[in-house]
Amino acid sequence: MEKKNFGKRFEGKVAIVTASTQGIGFAIARRLGDEGAFVVISSRKQKNVDEAVEKLKAQGIQVFGVVCHVANAEKRKNLIQKTVQKYGKIDVVVSNAAVNPSTESILETQESVLDKLWEVNVKACILLLKDAAPHMQKGSSVVLISSITGYNPYPSLAMYGVTKTALLGLTKALAAEMAPDTRVNCIAPGFVPTHFADFITRNEAIRKSFEETTLLKRLGTTEDVASATAFLASDDASYVTGETLVVAGGIPSRL
């Protein structure tokens, strides 16, 4: 990808991005790094972390990689501890990790799958912030990554969508709880072709149908989501908290 010259809104700031070795998380980490942040990336596999660190370093980004499965308490604590040991503080947390292990209808979904969806998509986000909050600075920022399906659960993503709806409420609640020192906002991306959402791109007809649901007649890009996340995380949004920014090309979300 062509290197762009961004501003330096995150100069000297420390940003943790979960599930950030590919897709939307990687694009967010790259954007924050391009704008001067010390970026801490993570995912479940060491190989993925190492490869992502090398890619970002090659682009001149100051990056540190830690293996972290967000549903594992020990791994979460390790992510925060390693970050604080290295940088002494945390300014930005982007909670991006999510799973969608089933395309079943809600009433057909197994209890173990319901537990996993709740644990990774919602509970782990809360517990990560619980560990991070004592180290966050005045003027710090949290961005939760939800989904357009949080407003209108797509049939094959119904329970996933419901967990993303929970993040909309969590954003409001945490914004009140973490104020005035820390702002908490949320991004609800539309359909973005990534490995996580490869069902969109596997079939040309499906891709076209998704494009037609947007006003802009195209799917989103990981950079579209990264740009919006960088805005909410930055001081440009210093008077914005408790809000969800929909980045979905005009797909209906709310009035």
Q: Is 213 exposed, middle or buried (0-12, 13-18, 19+ CB in 10 A)?
A: middle
CATH of the domain at 36: 3.40.50.720
Number of domains in the chain: 1
Mean pLDDT of the 43-54 span: 97
Residue tagged active-site, from 151, 154, 160, 239: 160
Inside any domain, residue 205:
no
Instruction: Give tens-digit pLDDT for 128-171.
Output: 999 999 999 999 999 999 999 999 998 888 999 999 999 999 99
- State how far the Cα of 200 lies from the Cα of 148, in Å rounded to an integer: 15
Instruction: Give tens-digit pLDDT for 162-181.
Output: 999 999 999 999 999 999 99
Inside any domain, residue 210:
no
Inside any domain, residue 95:
yes
Inside any domain, residue 174:
yes
**Contact predicate 17/142, CB 8 Å:** no
Helices (H), the chain: 23-34, 46-58, 73-87, 111-118, 124-132, 158-178, 204-212, 222-233
The confidence score (pLDDT) of residue 151 equals: 96
* H/E element, 90: strand 90-95
3-state secondary structure of 253: coil
Rounded-to-5 percentages of helix, strand, coil across the chain: 45, 15, 35
The confidence score (pLDDT) of residue 199 equals: 65
The confidence score (pLDDT) of residue 1 equals: 52
The confidence score (pLDDT) of residue 156 equals: 85
Q: How far is C-alpha 106 from the chain's CA centre? A: 24
The confidence score (pLDDT) of residue 178 equals: 98
Examine the pLDDT at 2 and tell me if it is beyond 60. no
Examine the pLDDT at 20 and tell me if it is beyond 60. yes
Task: Output the average pLDDT for the chain.
Answer: 95
Q: Is 9 exposed, middle or buried (0-12, 13-18, 19+ CB in 10 A)?
A: middle
Q: What is the DSSP string of 46-63?
A: HHHHHHHHHHHHHTT--E
92-124 b/e with 16+ CB inside 10 Å = b? bbbbbbbbbebeeeeeebeeebeebbeebbbbb
Q: Structure pTM?
A: 0.95
- State how far the Cα of 122 lies from the Cα of 119, in Å rounded to an integer: 6
The confidence score (pLDDT) of residue 203 equals: 81
Inside any domain, residue 202:
no
Angle at 58 between CA 22 and CA 84, to 5 degrees: 70
The confidence score (pLDDT) of residue 168 equals: 98
Residue 160 falls in the annotated catalytic set: yes
* Residue 211, number of CB atoms within 10 A of its CB: 15
Inside any domain, residue 54:
yes
Examine the pLDDT at 3 and tell me if it is beyond 70. no
Examine the pLDDT at 68 and tell me if it is beyond 80. yes
The confidence score (pLDDT) of residue 134 equals: 98
Confidence grade of residue 5 (pLDDT, cut at 50, 70, 90): confident
Domain that holds residue 162: 14-192+223-247
The confidence score (pLDDT) of residue 204 equals: 85
Inside any domain, residue 55:
yes
- State how far the Cα of 158 lies from the Cα of 164, in Å rounded to an integer: 10
Inside any domain, residue 158:
yes
Instruction: Give tens-digit pLDDT for 199-251.
Output: 666 788 888 988 999 999 999 999 999 999 999 999 999 999 999 999 999 99
